[in-house]
Structure 1
Amino acid sequence: MTQTAPPTATAPPDDVVPGAEIYTPEFRADPYPVYARLRAERPVVKVRTPRFDSFLVTRYDDAKQALSDPRLSKDLYRAGDTYLAVFGEKARQINTNMLNSDPPEHSRLRRLVTQAFTPRRIETMRPRVEQIVEDLLDRMAPRGHTDFVDDFALRLPLAVIGDLLGIPETDHEEILAGTQVIRTVGTGGRSPQEDRAAIGQAQQRLHAYFTGLVAAKRREPGEDLVSALIAARDGDGRLSEAELVSSAFLLLFAGYQTTSDFLGNAVVALLTHPEELDRLLADPGQVPAAVEELLRFDGSVPVSSFRFATEDLEIGGVPIPAGSIVTVVLSSANHDPELTEDPDELRLTRGSTSHLAFGHGIHYCLGTALARLEATTALRRILVRLPDLRLDVPVEDLQWLPAASAFRGLLALPLRFTPTQGGTP
C-alpha cells in the first residue's frame, strides 16, 4: 500500500477531474494509492462521471464534519432534478426511509425502526447465527475448495437478515437474484442504459416482493422484524405503507450486502498478510479487535450515500455550491494518517480507532451490532473449520466489483483448504 504524502495546497474549486482518471482498472483492485494521492493533493475535489458530478471528501476530519453537517441533506426529494438525474423516478418507491431523510422526519423514522431493532433482539440471534455458520461450513469443509462469496459470504447474512425480517427461506434465491443485479451493475457487458433498465426492473421486483411481505405480516403477524415495524408507533403515529416497504428493503440490503462483501474482504486481507493471520490463529480471542481493524483496513462501504448541499458551504476550504452532490469517501478517511499511524498497514493488534466504516452522525449504521456479531462468529469458525486456508488464484486475478460501485467487494473468491469430515470440531 502507498503511504500518504505531505498535504499540499487545495486544488482550485473549479478543478473538475474526469472520473476515468480515478476509476481505473488499477483502482478497482486497490483504491488506496488513489485515495492517498487525493488526500495529499485534492482532498475535496469535484469528479465528473457520465451521469453526474460529485464532490469527493477524502480526509478524515473533513469526512467526519461532512457526515454530521445538517446543510448536507439526505432527503432525495429535496434534490429535485439532481435526484432524478442520479436515481430515476422509479427509485423513489424504495427510498422512502430513514437513510434518505433529514430531521425531523429522519428522527421519527429512526425512532420507530429502533424500537424493533434493539440490542436485545440482536443478541437473541446469536445461537441462530452460530448455527447458520456451522451449517454452511459443514457443506464446505469436506470439499477442500470453495467460492467463498457464493458458498458463504452471500449466504450467511442473507439467512440472518431473512430470519430477522421474516422472509421465508424458500424466497431467499429470489431476493438474492434481485439484489445481485443491483450490486454487480457494470459487470455484465451492458451499456449504461441497459444497466439502468436492469436495476429499475430489479428494484420493481423487490418493491413488489416487500409490498406483499408487509401485507402478509399485517394479516398474520409473527415474531419477526417486519411485524414489529408494523406494530411500532410513537407520538407521531406509525410508519406509512410506503415507509414500511422501503424500510424493510433498506434493512435487507444494508444488513446483508455490506456484511457479505466485508466477509470476503476480510478473508483476502488475512490471507495476504500471513503474519497477521498466524497471530490470530494463535490467539482467536483477538477476533473482535481484528474485525474492527479489518473494517478500517478494507471495509465494504467505500463511500457514503449521496448528500446534497442545501446552501452554499465550504468543506476543507473548498466552496460547495448549493445543489451539489457530496460523497464522503469513508475508505479514504479510514486510511488517513490523522486517524492512525501507518494506516496502510494491517495491524490486528492496532487497538481501537474511531474509524468511519459504519459512518458517523445521525445516520450512523443502525445494524452495527448485527454486523459485528456475524463477522466475529464467522471468522472464529472459519479459522477452525477450514485449516490451511489459502487463495486458489493469484491475488492479482481476483475480480472486484466495478471501480465506481457503491460497494467494495469481490465477484468471486476461490479458496482451498485441507478437507475435513464430520461435524463441529
Structure 2
Amino acid sequence: MAEPNGADASVADLRDPFGRITNALLDSFAGTENSIDLMADFAMPYAVHCACELIGVPERDRADVTEWLDLMILAADGRTDRGACRELTGKLAGLLTERRVYPAPDLLTVLSGRLTEDGEDEVVRGVVLLMALSVETTFSFIGTLFHSLLTNRAQLSRLVQDESLIPGAIDELLRFDGAHNISSGNRYARQQAETALRIVLRRYPGLRLNTHPSNIEWLTSPFLRSIKQLPVRLAPSNADCDERNH
C-alpha cells in the first residue's frame, strides 16, 4: 500500500521550522480533491507562519495573526484594513509585555528589553512593520516563483527531476524580477522560498495550473504587487495529472 504523501517527508524537513510549516499546510489539503488556490491557501498562511516563527508569535495566536495580515495586505480596495491593523498592534503589544515577564529565545524577547528605552509605541510599530514586510515579501515572491514555473513546464520538470537546481532557479528569477525585496544576503527569505518549493515539488511532482494562464490576475496593494489567485492541482505525479486531463 502506498504511503500518504506526507509519510516520506524527510527528517531534515521536519526539524526545519519552514519545512514543518510547509508539510503541515500540505497535510491540511487532504480531502480537497487536490485543487487549491496556491496564494490564499498556501502562500499567505505559509508567509505568516514563517514570520511568526522568526519573531516569536505563539502557535495559539497564529490563526488570528494570519487573518489580520490577510486583511491588511490583501485589501480589495487597495487600502490597509485599519481594524485588522489595530488588532495586530494590540496583540503584538501584549506579547512584548508578556515577554518581559516570561522571556523566550525569540526576537520579541530581545525587543521587549527596549520598551522603556525606545518607547512602547515605537517598538510595537516596528514589529508590526517588520511582520508586514516579511509576510508580503515571502507571499509575493512565492506566488511569482510558482507562477513562473507553472507557466514554464520544461523548467518545472527539470526542478522536479533535480532539486539541487532550485537555488539557481530562484537566483534567476530574482535577477529578472526586481519587484521583490530579497537580496542574496537575506537567508531567511531565500530559505523560505527554497524550502516551500522543494517540499511542494517533492510531494506533488505533477503540480499543474488549474486554469488557463491568461486567466491569472495580478494584485496591487499598498504593500505589494503579486499574483491575486493561482488555482493549481496538487497532482502527485505527471501521469496522474495527464490522466485527469484526458
Match of 1:258 among 122, 125, 137: 137
Partner of 1:22: none
Report percent identity of matched pairs: 31
Q: Structure 1, residues 200-221: CA drift from partner, whole Å, max 9, x if none? A: 3332222222222211112221
State the 1:419 CA deviation. 4.6
3-state DSSP of counterpart to 1:154? helix
The equivalent of 1:148 in structure 2 is: 38
1-side partners of 2:112 and 2:94: how far apart? 13
Deviation at 1:371, TM superposition (A): 0.6
Is the counterpart of residue 272 in structure 1 residue 151 in structure 2? Answer: yes
Matched position secondary structure for 1:223: coil
Give the equivalent residue in structure 2 for 1:202: 84
Is the helix fraction higher in 1 or 2? 2
Shift of 1:375: 0.7
- 1:161-172 to 2 correspondences below 5 Å: 161-172=51-62
Counterpart residue number, 2:241: none
* Count of aligned pairs between the two proteins: 223
Deviations 1:103-160 (A, max 9, x none): xxxxxxxxxxxxxxxxxxxxxx962211221222223366422211222211222112
> Which structure would you say has the larger Rg?
1
Q: CA RMSD in A?
A: 2.8
User: SS where residue 285 of structure 1 aligns?
Assistant: helix
Give 1:42's aligned residue. none
1:176 pairs with 2:58: no
Q: What is the distance in 1 between the residues matched to 2:234 and 2:203? A: 9
What TM-score, normalized by structure 2, do the two folds share?
Answer: 0.79
> Are 1:247 and 2:138 matched, yes or no?
no
| Contact kept? 2:21, 2:46, Cα under 8 Å | yes
Deviation of residue 272 (structure 1)? 0.7
2:203 counterpart letter in structure 1: R
- Offset, 1:290: 1.1
1:358 maps to what in 2? Answer: 182
Letter in 2 for 1:155: P
Structure 1 residues 155-195: Cα deviation after superposition (integer angstroms, max 9, x where no partner)? 2221122122221223223222222222223x25xxxxxx6
Whichever residue aligns with residue 213 of structure 1, its letter is L
**In the alignment, which residue of structure 1 is the partner of 2:223?**
406
Instruction: Write the distance in 2 (CA, Å) between the matches of 1:229 and 1:160.
Output: 18
Q: What is the identity, as a one-letter code, of the residue corresponding to 2:81?
A: I
> Which whole-Å CA distance do the structure 1 matches of 2:112 and 2:118 have between them?
7
Equivalent residue letter for 1:408: R
Please list every run of at least 4 consecutive aligned residues from structure 1 whose deviation after the TM superposition is greater than 6 angstroms: none
TM score, norm. by length of structure 1: 0.48
Amino acid at match of 2:59: E
Counterparts of 1:137 and 1:181, CA distance in 2: 23
Code of the aligned partner of 1:135: A
Amino acid at match of 1:397: N
